[in-house]
């Protein structure tokens, strides 16, 4: 059955307000008895899920949460986390997912900034929650949603919602904020990205037809729901009356088993996760034939790895997506029709595809003037998907949204056919001997060497050139390759000034962000320590 999701259903002819919660209420009306969520072996229907969301909203009201107030969530992925994508919004409040991978100090910084009235916590982060509340007296209540006995001084989520009667609900609407996502903060203090009903509607309206999703699909959420790349599946699954199987955290074997057991149709992963799946010794023993769609993004996909992914999933449509939290998140997409190994333009997969219909994208110079095809500049984005701003940071918001365009900080160029090619982060650009070098070019080449398992290219100090291009490499098990061999391999395919002049070989894993991006800031630190401000 083709997707029955009506792209206009959230705004009727009388221009009624956009409310993302209407997705949930529509699922309750349309598919009341169909499975909505499976977590920890327990499945609940759409009517049960909607009822729990309303009861959760009533609990928040009882604890004094009102319109515009914030509700923190600190925990692993769960059915309750899914519910919290809707329950605060049902009363006009705002969800603030807290990244559990942060240190307590960093968590406190985010909570101090967002000032939630209550903090919902699971059994894994009880001590962190207590430390946060001690540092942030504005938190009136700690609500426990774990599977163990409710700790002293906390309110039981399950017991409370079972006792509460649903009261009148007034959902947020239009440009009112639904969720504040805190960015990774790898170069400084995290920023809260405010995303609205209109933002999420725009992205959902885009993603469903873009990925050719169908009604009743079974989705898996394996990435952390404190990040939008995983969390956005909450809305697309709801829009289609789908079945969402939630894993508490990414685990390769658990994910493979989940796909086989629940006949998963759709998953969204970052390239590192896909590599870990393919590398698992039991990968070939699992039946993954139910997968109809795989989307990947959030980090560069080496072409060598992409070849392996395409070969491993020959009957699955594979899509690349480029976006960011500030754009809720989709900006461009590479359709599955291009993910074919024997296409003459296979190299086009080095791009991130074409601009999606609901977004405008240009490549601009330092004055924000549009550049022609083939010229590299900063990628700027405009559309209903773009955030309303950074929480309590008007100056940063004005800078980021200058001239009505979101300034991504990413460098890239369009080719003559409208395909966008990334050159890396503006801040990752290496200036060596007066030449601008974007690391992704060398990384794409290096990753194609048979001995290279994973790589990153950074700029390191150089007395003459200012910066030198430097490769950091993890080799495949039992593979051998020396520095000169890898440098020569690059020089065969790239201008010499773009190639590494030195290599560092690592045996320990690359430092990764919470969404499994390689942290080049951490890789650069040992080289730049005491030499300046390069980060």
The model's pTM is 0.84
User: What is the pLDDT at residue 350?
Assistant: 83
Give CATH for domain 359-425.
2.30.38.10
pLDDT of residue 176: 98
Give residue 444's pLDDT: 86
Residue 407 host element (H or E): strand 406-414
Digit-coded pLDDT (tens) for 145-192: 999 999 999 999 999 999 998 878 999 999 999 999 998 644 456 899
What is the phi/psi pair of residue 120, to 5°?
A: -95, 135
Cα 490 from Cα 72, distance rounded (Å)? 47
Where in the chain is CATH 3.40.50.12780?
A: 21-249
* Strand ranges in 27-150 using DSSP code E only, listed in sequence order: 35-39, 42-45, 70-74, 94-97, 118-121, 141-144
Question: Which one, of 272, 253, 266, 84, lies nearest residue 180 by Cα?
Answer: 84
Where are the CATH 2.30.38.10 domain residues in the chain? 359-425
Tell the CATH topology of 429-528: GMP Synthetase; Chain A, domain 3 (3.30.300)
pLDDT score for 13: 44
Q: Architecture of 21-249 per CATH?
A: 3-Layer(aba) Sandwich (3.40)
Residues in the chain where the model's pLDDT stays below 50: 1-13, 185-187, 533
Instruction: Tell me if 318 sits within 8 A of 299, measured CB to CB.
Output: no
**397, 390 in Cβ contact below 8 A?**
yes
Rg (CA), the chain: 23
- The ranges of the chain annotated as CATH 3.30.300.30 are 429-528
Backbone phi, psi, residue 179, to 5°: -140, 140
């Amino acid at each position: 059955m083709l997707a029955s999701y009506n792209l206009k259903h959230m705004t009727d002819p009388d221009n009624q307000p956009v409310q993302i919660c209407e997705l949930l209420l529509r699922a309750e009306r349309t598919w009341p008895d169909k499975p909505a969520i499976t977590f920890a072996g327990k499945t609940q229907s759409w009517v049960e899920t909607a009822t729990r969301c309303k009861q959760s909203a009533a609990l928040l009201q009882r604890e004094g949460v009102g319109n515009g107030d914030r509700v923190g969530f600190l925990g692993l992925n769960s059915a309750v986390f899914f519910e919290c994508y809707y329950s605060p919004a049902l009363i006009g409040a705002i969800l603030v997912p807290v990244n559990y991978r942060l240190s307590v100090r960093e968590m406190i910084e985010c909570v101090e900034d967002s000032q939630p009235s209550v903090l919902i916590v699971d059994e894994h982060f009880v001590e962190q929650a207590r430390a946060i509340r001690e540092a942030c007296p504005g938190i009136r209540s700690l609500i426990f949603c774990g599977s163990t006995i409710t700790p002293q001084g906390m309110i039981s989520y399950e017991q409370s919602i079972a006792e509460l009667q649903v009261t009148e609900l007034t959902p947020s609407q239009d440009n009112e904020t639904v969720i504040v996502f805190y960015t990774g903060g790898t170069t400084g203090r995290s920023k809260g990205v405010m995303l609205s009903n209109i933002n999420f509607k725009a992205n959902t309206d885009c993603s469903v037809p873009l990925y050719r999703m169908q009604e009743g699909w079974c989705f898996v959420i394996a990435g952390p729901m404190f990040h939008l790349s995983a969390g956005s599946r909450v809305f697309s699954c709801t829009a289609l009356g789908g079945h969402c199987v939630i894993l508490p955290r990414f685990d390769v074997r658990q994910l493979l088993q989940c796909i086989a057991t629940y006949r998963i149709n759709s998953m969204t992963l970052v390239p590192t996760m896909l590599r870990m799946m393919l590398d698992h010794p039991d990968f070939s023993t699992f039946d993954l034939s139910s997968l109809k769609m795989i989307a990947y993004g959030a980090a560069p996909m080496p072409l060598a790895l992409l070849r392996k992914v395409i070969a491993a999933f020959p009957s699955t449509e594979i899509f690349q997506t480029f976006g960011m939290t500030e754009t809720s998140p989709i900006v461009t997409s590479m359709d599955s029709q291009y993910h074919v190994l024997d296409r003459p333009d296979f190299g086009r997969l080095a791009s991130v595809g074409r601009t999606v219909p609901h977004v405008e994208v240009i490549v601009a110079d330092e004055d924000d003037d549009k550049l022609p095809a083939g010229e590299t500049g900063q990628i700027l984005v405009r559309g209903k998907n773009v955030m309303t701003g950074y929480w309590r940071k008007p100056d940063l918001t004005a800078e980021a949204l200058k001239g009505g365009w979101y300034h991504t900080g990413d460098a890239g160029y369009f080719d003559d056919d409208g395909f966008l090619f990334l050159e890396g982060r503006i801040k990752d650009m290496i200036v060596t001997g007066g030449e601008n070098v974007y690391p992704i070019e060398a990384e794409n080449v290096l990753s194609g060497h048979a001995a290279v398992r994973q790589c990153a290219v950074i700029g390191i100090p150089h007395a003459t050139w200012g910066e030198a291009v430097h490769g950091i490499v993890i080799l495949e098990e039992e593979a051998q390759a020396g520095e000169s061999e890898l440098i020569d391999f690059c020089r065969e395919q790239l201008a010499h000034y773009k190639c590494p002049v030195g290599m560092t070989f690592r045996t320990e894993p690359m430092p990764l962000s919470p969404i499994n991006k390689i942290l080049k800031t951490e890789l650069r630190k040992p080289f730049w320590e005491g030499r300046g401000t390069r980060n």
